[in-house]
Structure 1
Amino acid sequence: MAAAGTPAPVHLDALGPRGPYRTRVPAAVRDVTGAEVARLSLVPPVYVTRALSALRTAGPVPASRIDVLLEAAAEEFATGTVGGLDVRTYEDLVSRTSGTPLPVVRAATRGTARFVALARSSAEQGRPRGTLPGPGRTGGGHAVWARRGDVFAVNASGNHPGVHRLWLEALALGYRVAVRPSRREPFTPHRLVAALHHAGVRQDQLVLLPTDHRAADTLIRGADRAVVYGGDDVVTRYAGDPRVLPQGPGRSKILVTADTDWRRHLDTIVASVADEGGTACVNATAVLVEGDPAPLAEALAARLSPLPGLPPQDERAVLPVCGLERARALDSHLRFVAAGTRSWLGGDGIVEDLGDGSAVLCPAVHQVDRAGAEQLRTELPFPCVWVAPWNRTDGTAPLRDTLVLTALTRDRTLLDTLLAEPTVANVYVGDHPTYWMAPGVPHDSYLSDFLMRGKAVVGTL
């Protein structure tokens, strides 16, 4: 029972093919202070199996209705009362449980709604020019764009509400979708799935399946295609499975060459590190400088050090918050990894105890002595950046395995080399922060590259 004056925990039911499902012993969802704020119904493996069977039997959302349904769901998500929660209550709960600053959550609400409304047209951007969206009526040979399966599963993370923008494209492409929410922040997928149901997507076309890890394996094995979020261990685990698209650390970077004055771009560099609370895979975790990196590191630390440490639901919050024990563990890990580097910020600790069981994760800036330093592969869930020297003999090797690379350079030959590097997913040229995203522009290639294929059709249908 909730204490006097404390709101009762919100019930988040599973949203199955026959409607909401509430378990007798739901799991507690706690905020960063440890207080219980919600109760999440976890479904067992047998429920997952039956839900996947129902999805497989159901037909796709009709293509003729998908845009109208998505636009209605986007409006409902952004402004409506969904699952008993108005948008302000929803945003407050997301901020309190994930530790993401409230202004970031509010911006994510608007951004997610925009991606929802444009999911069909975004998915269409990935269609090969030589294919048709469906079967033609002529007898000559042509190509159609066809699904590689029927059921798509999402094993989501809870670090940022924006992770739920991607799977909408699968629904728009005709897949039936099963979403496993993060137990850390289940509010965004619950709200999004419920909004889509209310807009007219049938319950047997889209389900929300909160589970433990054992049932999550059942979900991934039972789907035709799946996207799984996690760390390097997740990437390694699923690297050999062509049905699974692992979404691991972004290790986004900024490269500044000698022909560019970094001082003119300092706002962009700071924002790339600290925007979104520094929690997203598109936040910059390394800055490589052709020449002496120390002046840039010093300026970056000077800009990041005044950021205030506040509870996540504060209107002025800009830094992430987590439980005090986890914050201390992250601080210890950072000190271990940063051994031997030059600390410009955070060397004395990154934990600001808020006195309520939670702590702010304060920024850190460390300078390493070479572009190939192992520290550049360390990505942490707060504004933590490694600044390194880079020269032409280093080449692209230190820039590999990068989700977004912002290149502050005027060297066209170098840009061509970066564009040709297979392990750099996106190259932003000039004054564009690493976190820039837009509907229709690929995030880590188009999702449709993974979901769809060109199929030859000859003859009259």
Structure 2
Amino acid sequence: MAPVPTTEPLHLDALGPRGTYRTRVPSTVTDVAGAPIARLSLVPPLYVARAIDALRQAPPIAAADLETVFATAGEAFAAGTVGGLSVREYERHVSRTSGTPLAVVRAATRGTAHFVRHAASSADRGRPRGAARDLSDHVLHETHTVWARQGDVFAVNASGNHPGVHRVWLEALALGYRVAVRPSRREPFTPYRLVAALRQAGIRDDQLMLLPTDHATADTLVHGADRAVVYGGDDVVTKYAHDARILPQGPGRSKILITADTDWRDHLDALVASVAGESGTACVNATAILVEGDPAPLAEALAARLAVLPSLPPQDERARLPVCPKERARALSAYLKTVAAGTHAWLGSGGIADDLRDGSAVLRPAVHQTASASAPQLRTELPFPCVWIAPWTRADGMAPLRNTLVLSALTRDRDLWEALVAEPSIANVYFGDQPTHWMSPGVPHDSYLSDFLMRSKAVYEGPV
């Protein structure tokens, strides 16, 4: 009898200061149904410490090489074979492991490649007009100010909810930082492909690394760097809130405000996209919609549009909703039922976990109406299309709109425009028919990353 052919498991090695590093007992990466997909090498604390030392000793990427490196890497990420995976194989792996619909992953591939190509110019957008790029910049002789890094090593403790989360740290490379990325074990394929593509384009091994670790070792990485960004929930924000070297990225709690002078019917497509675009998993998806007037007609119309989205495995071309392991889906459904107590359910009253009979379940949309704009539910952000619809009055004022990553405002009230932009706790304001998940290179996400990484220094050159 002929031997049965075997398929070598896919290995995702650490990408350290001396190339790839494979551990003897790697962690298994599974898809949403529990099937093994890859073996991820987790590096120990000592390896992380030595990697940080290597990053600290390495020079920045030469400014003259930035445009070429990022253009080459962007092309490889979008269309090439990187780390042994073609772009289509990469996208299928991301979809199967993260539960993100394949169409969303493909759009994210194009979007991320676009951000890679524009990383250098995007990073420079945050530079103060009066600051020179470096000592050789002729502007320095006029302004006596130079833009300088606040450290050398930047660490990223990434999440796996959406491939686009890895676009932001590209700017740190462009600003001269050496970067270490800790991937999410839920979806390590995007950071692996991005780091490998950048190395393939000419970035040295000791300038950019992929360091998968367990949770305990992640702290070694974060605290060993000069600056770090950490993604997670409210617990992560609380944990790192008092460390000025760490930028916590928590829930976005993005919102939409619709005032009485605007007919929401003219903007229903944008409302649906804000809630369910990107499969509803991003921090820039709308968590709450506040309506001046009766919110019921809007809630009913939105629920009708979301109800027809199909329940399909994530790798199906027609899928639009996120998928996760069945047990997690049931837990999220039970949690939503508890949180939503006292609200009116327009969609999702019977639960949001739709079993696919393979160990996974689709997370279906939920639409609930609250009694007031001060309802506590408006702070609840969940990893699927889940939105709270609330009435809003001028007497409610800014309070229900605060602590928001993105606020889309459908209003003609110019005084309100001014008030929203002036509110410190609202990071971004979009006016008109613009979904909350819109992003573009060079446009700040949660302020410019350079606001956290850089500072302006006075430099005066006199006679010696």
Question: Normalised by the shorter chain, which TM-score bucket?
Answer: over 0.9
Task: Give % identity.
Answer: 73
Q: Match for residue 282 of structure 2?
A: 280
Unaligned runs of at least 5 residues, structure 2: none
CA contact (8 A) 1:93 1:187 kept: yes
How far apart, in 1, do the equivalents of 2:169 and 2:105 lie? 19
Q: Match for residue 301 of structure 2?
A: 299
Q: 3-state DSSP class of the match of 1:59? A: coil
CA contact (8 A) 1:140 1:458 kept: no
Q: Match for residue 440 of structure 2?
A: 438
User: For residue 270 of structure 1, what is the amino acid of its counterpart?
Assistant: V
Tell me, yes or no, if structure 1 residue 420 matches structure 2 residue 422.
yes
Runs of 4+ in 1 over 3 A off after TM superposition: 4-8, 136-141
How far residue 324 of structure 1 moved from its aligned partner, in angstroms, is: 0.2
CA contact (8 A) 1:8 1:37 kept: no
How far apart, in 2, do the equivalents of 1:297 and 1:8 lie? 50
CA contact (8 A) 2:131 2:143 kept: no
Q: Match for residue 399 of structure 1?
A: 401
- Which of 169, 174, 177 matches 1:175? 177
Q: Report the more deviating stretch, 133-142 or 423-432.
A: 133-142
Q: Match for residue 14 of structure 2?
A: 14
How far apart, in 1, do the equivalents of 2:128 and 2:11 lie? 44
- Which of 210, 213, 216 matches 1:214? 216
How far apart, in 2, do the equivalents of 1:403 and 1:352 lie? 30
- Which of 113, 138, 152 matches 1:150? 152
How far apart, in 2, do the equivalents of 1:250 and 1:434 lie? 11
CA contact (8 A) 2:66 2:174 kept: yes
How far residue 213 of structure 1 moved from its aligned partner, in angstroms, is: 1.1
How far apart, in 2, do the equivalents of 1:5 and 1:223 lie? 45
Q: Match for residue 239 of structure 2?
A: 237
How far residue 126 of structure 1 moved from its aligned partner, in angstroms, is: 0.3
Q: Match for residue 79 of structure 1?
A: 79
Q: What's the TM-score, normalizing by structure 1?
A: 0.98
How far residue 9 of structure 1 moved from its aligned partner, in angstroms, is: 2.8
Q: 3-state DSSP class of the match of 1:415? A: helix
How far apart, in 2, do the equivalents of 1:147 and 1:26 lie? 36
1:163-189 deviation line (CA, Å, top 9, x unaligned): 000000000000000000000000000
Q: What's the TM-score, normalizing by structure 2?
A: 0.97
How far residue 5 of structure 1 moved from its aligned partner, in angstroms, is: 8.3
1:300-353 deviation line (CA, Å, top 9, x unaligned): 000000000000000000000000000000000000000010000001110110
User: For residue 37 of structure 1, what is the amino acid of its counterpart?
Assistant: I
Q: Match for residue 262 of structure 2?
A: 260
How far apart, in 1, do the equivalents of 2:129 and 2:174 lie? 18
1:46-103 deviation line (CA, Å, top 9, x unaligned): 0000000000000000000011000000001111111110000000000000000000
How far apart, in 2, do the equivalents of 1:261 and 1:84 lie? 51
User: For residue 27 of structure 2, what is the amino acid of its counterpart?
Assistant: A
CA contact (8 A) 1:141 1:459 kept: no
Q: Match for residue 55 of structure 1?
A: 55
How far apart, in 2, do the equivalents of 1:448 and 1:100 lie? 30
Q: 3-state DSSP class of the match of 1:135? A: coil
How far apart, in 1, do the equivalents of 2:439 and 2:461 lie? 41
CA contact (8 A) 2:157 2:181 kept: yes
Tell me, yes or no, if structure 1 residue 111 matches structure 2 residue 111.
yes
Q: Match for residue 328 of structure 2?
A: 326
User: For residue 202 of structure 1, what is the amino acid of its counterpart?
Assistant: R
Unaligned runs of at least 5 residues, structure 1: none
How far apart, in 2, do the equivalents of 1:12 and 1:5 lie? 22
Q: 3-state DSSP class of the match of 2:395? A: helix
User: For residue 302 of structure 1, what is the amino acid of its counterpart?
Assistant: A
How far apart, in 1, do the equivalents of 2:218 and 2:6 lie? 33
Q: Match for residue 133 of structure 1?
A: 133
CA contact (8 A) 1:345 1:363 kept: yes
